[in-house]
Amino acid sequence: MTLDLSRWEKPDKGVLFVVTGSSGTGKTTLVRAALERVPHLSFSVSATTRPIRPGELHGVDYLFLSPERYDQLLVQGAFLEHASVYGNRYGTLREPVEQAIDAGVSIILDIDTQGAEQVRSSWPAAVSIFILPPSVEVLEQRLRGRATDPEEVIQRRVREAGLQLQECGRFDYLVVNDQLSSAADQLQAVLVAEQLRRPRRDSWVARFEGGGTTE
């Protein structure tokens, strides 16, 4: 399947997409491919309290915040989702997402199942997509095929992946990444179809009301 989006018109309102999948499912690769192919689609820049690293740019790689500022925003309810990872905090700010969607730009989040649950609670209209492996056995093979981690780490990741996969029934769409190019087409088809839904195309309806003809 080839998606020809050369004459793609931006929707009146964008969509908030939440893409989730355990380690080894290829979700990050699929999200990157979608960002390259689907117009008017943007990746949300997360906020974090971790120190900026050489070569990183504020507002491009992350929104680098002091712990005090992060806490202020958290108390204000400014995050769609947030989490602590290895002593640092990360989160998706609501305001930039709202601004983008109001301008017709869709936002895609690449987050874990816990973050996805937070987004569904704070933004019920979000469209959730779970990237699945062909099987648990194939997923374990992929994790072992990286050959960069000790056995105990691999086993822990396999257990964590199994728990995450059990959450797939709570998502709107399921994409099995058995063959990368096919999975990429499927994900992109979902992103395009959701942006073509009637409630996001009032301008098209107005264009053709009354039969689209004049006397």
Please, what is the average pLDDT of the chain?
A: 90
State the pLDDT at residue 215. 46
**Domain around 142:** 16-208
Residue 2, in any domain of the structure: no
Query: Per the structure block, which two tokens stand in for 195?
Result: 């942006």
3-state SS, residue 167: coil
How far is residue 145's CA from residue 198's CA, in Å, rounded to a whole number? 44
State the CATH number of the domain containing residue 117: 3.40.50.300
Least confident range of 13-17, 80-84, 127-131, 161-165: 161-165
Beta carbons of 18 and 24 less than 8 angstroms apart: no
Residue 215, in any domain of the structure: no
Residue with tokens 């989040």: 109
Identify each DSSP E strand in the chain by its residue range: 16-20, 41-43, 47-48, 63-64, 79-85, 88-93, 106-110, 127-132, 173-176
Residue 214, in any domain of the structure: no
How far is residue 130's CA from residue 116's CA, in Å, rounded to a whole number? 10
Residue 80, in any domain of the structure: yes
Residue 10, in any domain of the structure: no
How far is residue 68's CA from residue 46's CA, in Å, rounded to a whole number? 17
Radius of gyration of the chain (CA): 19
Which tens digits make up the pLDDT trace of 57-81?
998 889 999 999 999 999 999 999 9
Tally of structural domains, the chain: 1
Residue 9, in any domain of the structure: no
State the pLDDT at residue 54. 92
110: closest CA among 90, 133, 88, 139? 90
Residue 49, in any domain of the structure: yes
Residue 87, in any domain of the structure: yes
111: closest CA among 15, 22, 16? 22
